[in-house]
Amino acid sequence: MDYNYSDDIKRRLRRIEGQVRGVLKMMDEQKNCKDVVAQLSAVRNASDKAIAQIVAENLQRCLLEEQATGGDTSKLVKEAVELLVKSR
């Protein structure tokens, strides 16, 4: 099964990459702990949203494929939920 990741998700990840570089710069500049943690929290939130988007897009595609073959989609939904839970 081929996975095609949208340009939107790639942009999100590049933004996260920039946020992480920003956090490292803040650390090099010995910025306040609260500010660093706030930025790391923003990175985590952005990462969580990216994970959710990837799982949702993939689940939608897998569900459509499974329905086309007359298969049971409940296993796919369960796997998607497990992925989301594991990511936290």
Of 6-10, 13-17, 53-57, the poorest mean pLDDT is in 53-57
Predicted TM-score (pTM) above 0.85: no
CATH topology of domain 7-87: Methane Monooxygenase Hydroxylase; Chain G, domain 1 (1.20.58)
DSSP type of residue 32: -
Number of H helices, E strands in the chain: 3, 0
The conformational region for residue 30 under phi > 0 = left, psi -120 to 50 = alpha, else beta, is left
Do the Cβ atoms of 73 and 67 come closer than 8 Å?
A: yes
Question: What is the structure's pLDDT at 20?
Answer: 98
Chain segment 17-45, per-residue pLDDT in tens: 999 999 999 999 999 999 999 999 999 99
Task: Give Cα 59 distance to the centre of its chain.
Answer: 13
Q: Scanning the structure block, which residue is given the tokens 């803040």?
A: 26
CA 20 to chain centre: 15
Which residue ranges make up each domain of the chain? 7-87
User: Quick one: DSSP state of residue 30?
Assistant: T
User: What is residue 1's predicted lDDT score, i.e. its pLDDT?
Assistant: 58
Q: How confident is the model at residue 77 (pLDDT cuts 50, 70, 90)?
A: confident
